[in-house]
Structure 1
């Protein structure tokens, strides 16, 4: 009977190294998979840095002459608009001088007949400017980076 009590202890002792070796192989395997995945994304995918669009380089600036617009209730707005083109767009491309007529048309469309209070508020004016920029970017096929008000007088 003494041999039967010692036999289970010997079996447990023999199984302990097998389990720890099995667990070691699983852990090492997981580490290898994680390292391989990280290497794939960093080396082959470029770490995501190449996927981001490069920031456009500023090009020519076209300053349009100020125009006067009718606002609501008999008021007027004198506004000047400048367009910051991208270097790639070249301010019109093919050596041609840039044309600001589309941008002025959008400006007239968006700012005409607005109430003075709406244009006097900096927050509202900034929102209108952002909307105008989006429309101009679309019109110029993303060749315009930014717009600037060179003059903004309400009377």
Structure 2
């Protein structure tokens, strides 16, 4: 009598995981982590990203006379604190902004320090716009009303 043994069929070759498949996933994951780390560094930790601008030259301009209300006038001189490395600033934009801001104002409005400081802040905002961030601050070198 002969005996036959039944054995289970061999698994199909297609069901086997190809060699190196896990390695590809690991490399892809490593690349994604590196890209995410580089992006985080670029946007958050990059040196100089939050650095304050360094003051450069101060551009002092001759005072100008501005017509106020009721026949009065203001003689105002300004100086611009530029950022380091700023292209040579043309003071005409600053003088134009100063004349626009102060023309026609009441003299009583200008003698109050609180009002004068508010106008100075308004002037600084306008200069920041006109000079594209190259002006750090503006100083009054002369401020006389009559």
Normalising by the residue count of structure 1, what TM-score does the alignment of the two structures yield? 0.63
Question: TM-score if structure 2 supplies the norm length?
Answer: 0.66
Q: Please, which runs of 5 or more residues in structure 1 have no aligned partner?
A: 1-43, 93-97
Matched, 1:144 2:144: no
Residue in 2 that maps onto 1:119: 110
- The structure with more helix, counted as a fraction of residues: 1
| 1:6-155 correspondence runs (5 A) | 53-90=50-87, 92=88, 98-155=89-146
Shift of 1:60: 1.1
Q: Secondary structure at 1:109's aligned position in 2?
A: helix
Q: Find the residue that maps to 2:90 and give its secondary structure.
A: coil
Q: CA RMSD in A?
A: 2.3
Partner deviation per Cα, 1:79-106 (whole Å, 9 max, x = no partner) = 001111000314x2xxxxx310000000
Q: Return the alpha-carbon distance in structure 1 between the equivalents of residues 49 and 109 of structure 2.
A: 37
| Distance apart, 1:48 and its partner CA | 6.5
Task: Give the number of aligned pairs.
Answer: 108
Query: Which blocks of at least 5 consecutive residues in structure 2 are unaligned?
Result: 1-39
Moved over 6 A (4+): none
